[in-house]
Chain A
Amino acid sequence: EPEVTQTPSHQVTQMGQEVILRCVPISNHLYFYWYRQILGQKVEFLVSFYNNEISEKSEIFDDQFSVERPDGSNFTLKIRSTKLEDSAMYFCAAFGERGTDTQYFGPGTRLTVL
Chain B
Amino acid sequence: AQSVTQLDSHVSVSEGTPVLLRCNYSSSYSPSLFWYVQHPNKGLQLLLKYTSAATLVKGINGFEAEFKKSETSFHLTKPSAHMSDAAEYFCVVSDGTGFQKLVFGTGTRLLVSP
Closest beta carbon of chain A to B80's beta carbon, Å: 24
Cβ-defined contact, A55 with B99, below 8 A? yes
A44 to B107: give the CA distance in the assembly, Å.
Answer: 12
Contact count band on A: 20 to 34
What is the interface residue range for chain B against chain A? 20 to 34
Question: In the complex, A31→B90 CA distance in Å?
Answer: 22
Could you tell me which residues of chain B, from 6 to 44, have a CB within 8 Å of some CB in chain A?
A: 34, 36, 42-44
- Nearest chain-B residue to A99 (Cβ)? B98
Q: Are A42 and B106 in contact (CB under 8 A)?
A: yes
Binding site for B on A (CB under 8 A): 31, 33, 35, 41-45, 48, 50, 55-56, 91, 93, 95, 98-99, 102-108
Question: Does B101 count as interface, using CB distance less than 8 angstroms?
Answer: yes
Q: Is the CB of A98 within 8 A of B99?
A: yes
